[in-house]
Amino acid sequence: MRGTAYGGEAPGKRWPVNGWLAAACLLLVLGLGPALCGAVVGPVRSRLLAQNVATVLAALVLLLSSPGYDRPAYLDTALVLAVLGPAGTLVYERLLAEDLPRGTPWPALARAASWASVAVVPPVVVPVCFAVAPGRTTVKVLVIGALLVAGSAVCGRALARAPRTAVGEDSGD
Amino acid sequence: MTELPVLLGLLLATTAGTAAALTRDPVHQALVLSVLGLALALLFTLLQAPDVALSQLAVGTVLTPLMVLLSVRKVRRRPREDSPADGRGGKR
């Protein structure tokens, strides 16, 4: 059922899931779980940050599912999310401009989360680059990675700025 | 064990859906709906349905929360229109 289009071992022989799917599961549990928790509690600014992190992590899970299931078509899903995700976050940030100045209760955690969402992209994108067929597909994976890094950095910076009505907590990033 | 990604995706979608249903404020709910859309798109991809996932990404991640936020914005603007006009026609 699972061919060797990616040149790897078919799962089911020694391991129940192959390495790509295991990494995807790890990202799901360790990344999207806390991102969901961050989107559920707190003021609007930290929720929006959590939504941004969730977008990046979901795009990475989609990217990992492509070699995981031997379907090059899944890269298109990751590409669409890499384009729509940061654009959506920036649109929300514009629409919620009135609610944002309330600040985050944990500014250090927010900053760490936005840095982490940028830093986790290269360790995922580079192995996938080597796993896909050379040529146009590699360029597609690289474009996904670049869009995710750029989008996440822009959104993180836009959201981690100090609140406009400075209450005295966030002392300027 | 091979179904582990699907199980995790299902768990994530269930939790996100429950959280969205239990959130009261529309603005907060819009953001939780966005995460729910992401979780559903992941679930569809893990269930080998990438076309459905593409549609879900377009609708659930961008459109639904956007419509909720635009409605909230429209509803909130009403008290301000009663105040004396300052000639800007209500534009921000």
B51 contact partners, CB below 8 Å, separation of at least 6 = none
CA dist A162 and A52 (Å) reads 18
Here the tokens at position A136 are 């146009």
Counting Cα atoms < 13 Å in the Cβ hemisphere of A41 gives 7
Residue A96 confidence (pLDDT) above 60: yes
Q: Domain range for residue A82? A: 19-160
ipTM: 0.79
Q: What is the pLDDT of residue A46?
A: 83
CA B84 to chain A, closest CA, distance in angstroms equals 20
Q: Is residue A99 part of a domain?
A: yes
Residues of chain A with Cβ-Cβ distance to B62 below 8 Å are 84, 87-88, 91
Could you tell me if B27 and A44 are in contact, meaning their C-beta atoms sit under 8 angstroms apart?
A: yes
Q: Is residue A12 part of a domain?
A: no
* Partner B, chain A 79-98, Cβ-Cβ below 8 Å: 80-81, 84-85, 87-88, 91-92, 95-96
Q: Is residue A27 part of a domain?
A: yes
Q: Is residue A168 part of a domain?
A: no
Q: What is the pLDDT of residue B15?
A: 94
User: pLDDT of B44-68, one tens digit each?
Assistant: 999 999 999 999 998 988 888 888 8
CA dist A39 and A52 (Å) reads 10
Of the two residues A3 and A77, the one the predictor is more confident about is A77
Q: What is the pLDDT of residue B19?
A: 93
Q: What is the pLDDT of residue A103?
A: 66
Q: How many domains does chain A have?
A: 1
Q: What is the pLDDT of residue A6?
A: 53
